[in-house]
Structure 1
């Protein structure tokens, strides 16, 4: 068994990407700009400050922090009024990991307050740790968020499994040294460094995670280490 399982949030635990896209579009249009689906897709998995700079380039005349706070508040409002759409199999897997006494961490580029709101809506203790995007020095695709989560949990990153749905997140998890399972949602993950791709978490078990961890750790033990940073 891995010593911990590290989870991305948006698109992996919950399907909030449509909320983010709607908030971005409304904000840009309020400044007279336009925002295509293709442009919105480029922001999936990015750190919020990086996304805010792209919105500035698209015509949003606000500061980076102001944009981040505005988008976060809008998405939180939509979560309150429309509900939290959990991804298939996510809550079931989290419950199974708790039953198996495997520590879990939520590693998200959303602000911590957003992550806390979502976790509070779950009717069981799903995570031992939350690492928010405003709590790391460098965002995904740098490995820092995952390395920080492992360090705080007191485990070696190579003894963990990470679950991700975006190219940016997969690159971050893979660069950290975690065994990385990609679960694509709205963006394809082929060629971004995941150790394995699963179509969904629905029907998956803790034993499936353990099997992937064992197989890829064994393979990694035969190869030179590339853990710790991006090239």
Structure 2
């Protein structure tokens, strides 16, 4: 368990991964469009964007339904495994950073602010992404296959992260880019900095919008807390 930071009341920063730290949603695009091709179907841009922030089982079920295929536990597992293998191949190399993300990670670590990674991506793929991002930044990581099916937008992923860090959610800032992620962090009681990427996020309680991570620092994040 990490000791809470005493820096002006900021206990921790909780990071989403895909589309927030790294621009990996573009790689998911490749895997999902190819998956639909194997099913003999097509995926519209609107349908693809509706999957941003989704977990693997929900994504696989959605693609099967869109393509008019039977949606069963077996077909979901088979489709999920296909997507998993293809995405692992795409993740097996350097991933592009989102603007300002790497600099903010470095700054927060230098200031001693605890951090956690909270992602809907499964552990095996997250570990590949961490080869680019760096495991050393995070005192805890919560992945999509580690929350008993209670993925974003449920509060469980962010609540688990705060429990692992031993900090109150009310003193945490979460950084997100998607509607499910923002809803999850807010429901857990975090202040949410929303950096929209591919999908618009509606205004809501505990949400603060920024155009990018560039220029964010500890005083700025602390000032957002209630």
Structure 1 and Structure 2 fold alike (TM over 0.5)? yes
Match of 1:23 among 14, 17, 31: 31
Out of 108, 114, 119, the residue aligned to residue 108 of structure 1 is 119
Q: 2:145 maps to which residue?
A: 134
Task: Identify if the C-alpha distance between structure 1 residues 124 and 168 changes in structure 2 by more than 3 Å, giving closer, same or farther.
Answer: closer
Match of 2:101 in 1: 90
8 Å contact kept, 1:6–1:107: yes
Unaligned runs of 5+ in 2: 1-8
Across the two proteins, how many residue pairs are aligned to each other? Answer: 213
2:136 match: secondary structure: coil
**Unaligned stretches of 5+ in structure 1?**
218-231
Give 2:92's aligned residue.
80
Aligned-residue offset at 1:123: 5.4
CA contact 2:92–2:128 (8 Å) conserved in 1:
no
Distance in 2, Cα, partners of 1:145 & 1:124: 18
> Which of structure 1's runs of 4+ aligned residues deviate more than 3 A?
none
Q: CA RMSD in A?
A: 1.7
Q: 1:187-208, CA deviations, whole angstroms, 9 ceiling, x for partnerless residues?
A: 1113354521010001221221
Deviations 1:129-152 (A, max 9, x none): 110000002000000000001011
Alignment check: 8 A CA contact 1:167 1:192 kept: no
Report deviation, 1:73: 2.3
Aligned to 2:195: 183
Shift of 1:76: 2.2
Deviation at 1:63, TM superposition (A): 2.3
Instruction: Please name the residue that 1:10 is paired with.
Output: 18
Cα-to-partner distance string for 1:61-112 (whole Å, 9 max, x where unaligned) = 662233223222212211325x301111111111111111111010000001
Question: Could you say what secondary structure the match of 1:33 adopts?
Answer: coil
CA contact (8 A) 1:5 1:105 kept: yes
With over 3 angstroms needed to count, the CA separation of the structure-2 counterparts of 1:192 and 1:71, relative to structure 1, is farther
Partner of 1:223: none
